[in-house]
Amino acid sequence: MPTLSYHRPSSIAEVARLARDDPDAKLLAGGQSIIPSLKLGLLAPSALIDLGGLPELRGVRLEGRSLRIGAMTSHAEVANSPEVRKHVPALAHLAAGIGDRQVRNRGTIGGSLANSDPAADYPAAVLGLGAEIRTDRRAIPADSFFKGLFETALDPDEILTAVEFPLPERAAYVKFPQPASRFALVGVFVSLTGKSVRVAVTGAGPCAFRVAALEQALAKRFAPESLHDITMPADTLNADLHGSAEYRAHLIPVLTRRAVTQALA
Amino acid sequence: MSSTRAPLIGQPVERKEDYRFVTGTGQYTDDIVLPRQTYAAFVRSPHAHAHLRSVDVAAARDAPGVLAVYTGKDLTSIGGVPCGWLIHSIDGTPMKEPKHPILAEDKVRHVGDPIALIVAESAREAKAGAALVEVEYDVLPAVVNLATAAASSTSVHDIAPDNICFTWAVGDKAATDAAFARAAHVTRLSLVNNRLIPNAIEPRAANAHYSPASDSYTLYVTSQNPHVERLLMAAFVLGIPEHKLRVVAPDVGGGFGSKIYLYAEEAALVWASRRVGRPIKWTAERSESFLTDAHGRDHVTTAELALDADGKFLALRVDTIANMGAYLSTFAPCIPTILHATLLAGQYATPHIHCQVRAVFTNTAPVDAYRGAGRPEATYLLERTVERAARELAIDPPELRRRNFIRTFPYSTPVGLTYDTGDYEATLDRVLELADVHGFPARKAESERRGLRRGIGYSCYIEACGIAPSSIAGALGARAGLFEAGEVRVHPTGKVTVFTGSHSHGQGHETTFAQVVADKFGLPLEDVEIEHGDTAKVLFGMGTYGSRSLAVGGSAIVKAADKILTKGCRIAAHLLEASDEDIEFRDGAFRVKGTDRSKTFAEIALAAYVPHHYPIEQLEPGLNENAFYDPPNFTFPAGSYVCEVEVDPDTGAARVDRFTACDDFGNVVNPMIVEGQVHGGLAQGIGQALLEGCRYDEESGQLLTGSLLDYALPRADDLPNFRVETVKGTPCKHNPLGVKGCGEAGAIGSPPAVINALLDALAPCGVRDLDMPATPLRIWQAIEAARAKR
């Protein structure tokens, strides 16, 4: 029977050492993806390195014109954080819509981002706000973080420590749930900061992505009407039981319009 | 002394069983740990269809903690999983009934088909051992598509080369065809009744134990009918004497039909428990439940309704293909035939009906009864067709139904049933009022202002419950009687224990049955205890399904209680020195008519057990009676449902905004429990209409909806706040309680109401047809297809 070691280090340095010494070990954040994967036998790491003993990875802090959210901050903490609700209400709304109550109390922003599930919500916000991913060794801009299906720019032993979100003028997230799992069949995050518009989509591709055509149209005028004639090509989009690629392509501009309407409200 | 009190029947008495459920002190099969307990796991086929070239269990046998490994080769001396219903084809030949081995012998026929049983010291070790079994497969093409199964060049079973199990029909074909020939209008519809996966909250589980001391077996199992399980297991599978097998179905967390059947895993455990010499427990994982619980529905149908110029129904013609899955489950053949085609008259006086049903084998899990069992399929096709006809003829849908209602009872349908009583106008009138149908145009306009399309849909259902007169069931192919048994044991202190062959797995029998008996004897509710689910306690039983428990099981209890009162009158006559005929039982006491002389129920009970002054030469001591009740007919609950939906045409998302149900269940014992049953049925029916759809890959036969990540069960926020009312109604004329059954109504009546409402909402978009489940994707595709046609 396979055995699994468990570590609960109390410093980042110790995490780094454990991760470096055992390439088959996995970092454990909230465990909302990794634990089910272990139970289903989809993953068989040699060890779990639990980040739960590192209080410095937890919490929300306003730093000038950006919000710093620690990697181990739970979805519920983000959803209920006064700072997030005041400065980026769209992000609080997004966090409040992840999974169910248990998932939100256990799952963390860092875990979600490092996992890069194609239907996770947070990647849309990170891309849609142009956030910066902080690790134990560098800062990675959102635009170069998501690499593919369950694939990120993180090195195997790299530790995601925090996310820095610049404060937008306007932002909104609209999710169309897959009926069974309630993950995003398509989710769209839009933001407006100065003249810069970002439109990030989750659920529709191998990982979250931005849509230049929608951003350009909205940069001319940030209004739902700006998107009326825009259609999305379906060829690179996900298709499954719950949504064909064409359906997802159809939903992206529809949800973007709704997000813009919400952002303006 | 008298104890006059208001009747408990008709009161929303709180459920006696809820204390243990809400405090976590229920006792489910998996809670039972026996001394020297061992645990089982099954090796299951990853392929839908394959020959087994070899099964190598050597490594598994040597694995830590593993005690024994068995394969199909070890079980050749025992029978397969039996089928309890024999259907004959139109040509008189019996259905094809292939062997359903307990563990696969030469072939596997669906993903999840069990191949080997591993018994180990722990569940973990059993599972680890299972992973070490090496199976070599010759993978065969899979028969998956129901509609084309009969044309497939692959056979699931050698004895059914064309994959047809039977071709059965009911009704007068010539008269039906003749009526079509003279019809002013014919409405035609092709539809699919989507396959469903039951998903009881408690997965199937079993714990089997053999005692060498008494040379007998005990099986704890998640069953809706422990006596049927015992009979099938002892007589047909293992060939052990029936009295040497005790079956206990303790607290069971929901069944919806899926726990009626005898399953291979339970039989394997009982068989192996003797060889291993220790008790063996198995609890299904949720993914095993998805793969191996008997699924429900799965019909492909064409329906045609012939009408005259006034909108009167002349005839109905139905052709259905029904999926049996890979093997015949316990009741499978009767579901699309006896419980489906015989319901096609619905609430209407259609003079001619003909229905042909072709049952086919496929490389999918067995299909059997699931909440409603055949009746939802009948109601869906009929109510979709009627509403389509109304649309085509521009007649208000309720009005078209009203024109065709059956109004005189008893009414014999052209498909073999005789409805004893009903008042369809009453439920329709009331539901239209409750649903505020007059306010619909205003609500529609308001929805449109928000960019949404609102639609309204109707459904008037009938169901046949309380299965069945055994003689009729037997004539129709049942291999068992369908009566029920009950025993009323009055203790010396006048407290009462009732034993019933019905089984409660969510229905609340411990409360409703106690209400009935407490009223019968004038006792407080807490003086009556209901026992069920144990063949060592309960004399016999046919179990709970088809909304039969109160109508059939309750009637058996009433009969036994009547015997108690008859005997009590004789004891009282002796004690009060009166003649038997002068004693009446009223307000909790046996009284000499026209006098104030009486004996309380408890006094008579004591006298029966302390027979110092007792008519011992004429009467046995004690106060214990049993009764068997075989119903003279089915019961026929009916009702009318109205659904309003809102559709977002930009995304295809649909939401049930209002759902109103008005049911006639005859007499109601506990209106709170009835309302709860209707709520649950509606949730499952709306789930079928909008969310739930089992899908297998057409090529590989892999289950694509194998977990709750892909199989969408309804959640609270998928459902509106239901308006549910039970009319005073028409009590059943042939059972002593006048009750009909309420457990399945919601699941039967609601799917067509939802789809009819969606089609009403989408009519302006040009959408004429929509299959279940009407997911956002399907609705969007329907809108797009209609747009492209314009």
DSSP string, B326-346: SS--TTGGGTTTTTTGGGTTT
Count of Cβ atoms closer than 10 Å to residue A96 Cβ: 14
Residues B45 and B89 in one domain: yes
Q: Is B761 helix (H, G, I), strand (E, B) or coil?
A: helix
CB contact under 8 A, A180 and B712: yes
Structure token digits, residue B589 = 């006491």
Residues B307 and B273 in one domain: no
- Say if B711 is an interface residue toward chain A (CB within 8 Å): yes
- What ipTM score was computed for the predicted complex, to two decimals? 0.96
d(CA B654, CA B758): 8
CA distance B252 to B226: 11
Burial of B576 (0-12, 13-18, 19+ CB in 10 A): middle
Contact A247 B691 (CB under 8 A): no
Contact residues of A toward B, CB < 8 A: 1, 176, 179-181, 183, 185, 241-244, 247, 250-251, 254-255
Q: Say whether A176 and B653 touch across the interface (CB within 8 A).
A: yes
- The answer on B512 and B453 residing in a single domain is no
Return the closest-CA partner of residue B751 out of B637, B643, B636, B677.
Answer: B643
Buried b / exposed e along A188-209 (16+ C-beta atoms within 10 A): bbbbbbeeebbbbbbbbbbbbb
Q: Residue B658 corresponds to which tokens in the numbers above?
A: 């209002």
Minimal Cβ distance to B777: which of A1, A180, A243: A243
Q: Which of A180, A241, A243 sits opposite B708 (nearest CB)?
A: A180
Buried b (16+ CB within 10 A) or exposed e, A10-33: eeeeebbebbeebeebbbbbbbbb
Helix (H, G, I), strand (E, B) or coil at A100: coil
Of B150, B146, B179, B457, the C-alpha closest to B304 is B179
Min distance B125 CA to chain A CA atoms (Å) = 8
In this prediction, residue B5 carries a pLDDT of: 84
Residue B1 confidence (pLDDT): 39
Give the closest-approach CA distance of B321 to chain A in angstroms.
Answer: 24
**Within a 10 A sphere around the Cβ of A156, how many other Cβ atoms?**
10
Q: What is the CA radius of gyration of chain B?
A: 27
Instruction: Give the separation between CA A60 and CA B687, rounded to whole angstroms.
Output: 40
Q: Judge if B534 and B519 occupy the same domain.
A: yes
Helix (H) or strand (E) holding B524: none
CA distance B396 to chain A (A): 33
Strand partners of residue A61: A68
| Whether residue B417 is found in the same domain as residue B520 | no
Q: Cβ of A1 and B651 within 8 Å?
A: no
Minimum Cα–Cα distance from A176: chain B residue: B651
Alpha-helical runs (H) found in B394-537: 397-404, 424-434, 440-449, 470-475, 509-521
Regions of chain B where pLDDT drops below 70? 1-4
- CA-nearest of B83, B542, B75, B64 to B265 is B75
CB atoms within 10 A of CB B511: 23
Q: Which member of B650, B704, B781 has the closest CB to residue A241? A: B704
Locate the chain A residue with the closest alpha carbon to B648: A254
The single-letter code of the amino acid at B420 is D
Q: Which of B421, B328, B412, B422 is nearest to B367 (CA)?
A: B328
Q: How many angstroms away from the CA of A13 is the closest CA of chain B?
A: 36
B665 Cβ neighbours under 8 A, 6+ residues apart? B637, B674, B726, B729, B739, B740, B741, B742, B745
Beta bridge partners of B412: B418
- Angstroms from A1 CA to nearest CA on chain B: 7
The amino acid sitting at B729 is G
d(C-alpha B270, C-alpha B233), whole Å: 9
Q: Which amino acid is at A174?
A: V
Contacts of B144 (CB under 8 A, 6+ apart): B48, B362, B363, B364, B696, B697, B698, B699, B701
Asked if residues B417 and B634 have their Cβ atoms less than 8 Å apart, the reply is yes
Q: How many CA atoms lie within 13 A of B690 on its CB side?
A: 32
Best CA proximity match to B60, nearest among B171, B134, B146, B148:
B134
Tokens of A160: 């995601």
Roughly how many angstroms between the first and final C-alpha of chain B, as a whole number? Answer: 81
Site from B651, B702, B713 to mutate, A interface, most A CB atoms within 10 angstroms: B651
Phi, psi of B650 (to 5 degrees): -75, -30
Neighbouring-strand partners of residue B50: B108, B139
**Closest approach of chain A CAs to the CA of B136, in angstroms?**
22
Give A181's contacts in chain B (Cβ within 8 Å): 708-710
Nearest to B359 by CA among B390, B384, B323: B323
Residue A178 and residue A120 in contact, taking contact as beta carbons nearer than 8 Å: no
Instruction: Mark whether B268 and B403 lie in a shared domain.
Output: no
Sign of the alpha-carbon torsion through B674, B679, B685, B688? negative
Residues B744 and B642 in one domain: yes
Q: Answer whether B64 sits within 8 Å of A241, measured CB to CB.
A: no
Residues of B631-666 as b/e, b for ≥16 C-beta within 10 angstroms? Answer: bebbbbbbbbbbbbbbbbbbbbbbebbbbbbbbbbb
Q: What are the φ and ψ backbone dihedral angles of B317, each rounded to 5 degrees? A: -125, 125
Prediction pTM value: 0.97
Number of CB pairs, chain A paired with chain B, less than 8 A apart: 43
Query: Which residue of chain B comes nearest to A181, CA vs CA?
Result: B709
Same domain assignment for residues B683 and B710: yes
Radius of gyration (C-alpha) of chain A in whole angstroms:
18
Q: Is residue B82 part of a domain?
A: yes
> Shortest CB distance from A254 goes to which of B650, B691, B705?
B650
Fold entry, domain A1-50 = 3.30.43
Residue B162 lies in a domain: no
B611 and B670 inside one domain: no
Is B650 in contact with A180 (Cβ distance < 8 A)? no
> Does B709 contact A247 at a Cβ distance shorter than 8 Å?
no
Peptide bond into A141 cis (omega under 30): no
Question: Which domain-ending residue is among B582, B611, B629?
Answer: B629
Tokens standing for B99? 């062997």
Chain B environment of A39 (Cβ under 8 Å)? none
Q: Which among A175, A181, A237, A248 is the top mutation candidate for probing chain B, defined by the most B β-carbons within 10 Å of its own β-carbon?
A: A181
Same domain? B363 vs B267: no
CA distance, residue A66 to nearest chain B CA (Å): 34
Question: Which residues have a Cβ under 8 Å from the Cβ of A77 and sit 6 or more positions away?
Answer: A58, A59, A60
Q: Give me B608's structure tokens.
A: 């029966």
Cβ–Cβ under 8 Å, residues A35 and A132: no
The answer to whether the CB atoms of A244 and B64 lie below 8 A apart is no
List the structure tokens of B164. Answer: 């047809």
How many domains, in total, are found in chain B? 3
| C-beta separation of A164 from A230 below 8 A | no
- What rounded mean pLDDT belongs to chain A? 96
Contact between B651 and A241 using a beta-carbon 8 Å cutoff:
no
Structural domain spans, chain A: 1-50, 170-264
| Collapsed DSSP state (helix, strand, coil) of residue A67 | strand
Chain-centre distance of CA B534, in angstroms? 20
> Which residues are CB-neighbours of B134 under 8 A, at least 6 positions away?
B54, B55, B56, B59
- Report the amino acid identity of residue B403: R
Say whether both B44 and B115 belong to one domain. Answer: yes
Range of the domain at B603: 18-24+483-629
Q: How far is CA B267 from CA A130, A180, A239, B75, B217, in A?
A: 60, 34, 42, 10, 12
Q: Same structural domain for residues B87 and B235?
A: yes
**What is the CATH number for B722?**
3.30.365.10
Mutate to test the interface with A, among B777, B781, B784 (most CBs of A within 10 A): B777
Residue A127 has pLDDT above 70, yes or no: yes
Asked if A241 lies within 8 A of B653 by C-beta distance, the reply is no
CATH class of A170-264: alpha beta
Token digits for B498?
Answer: 């009732």
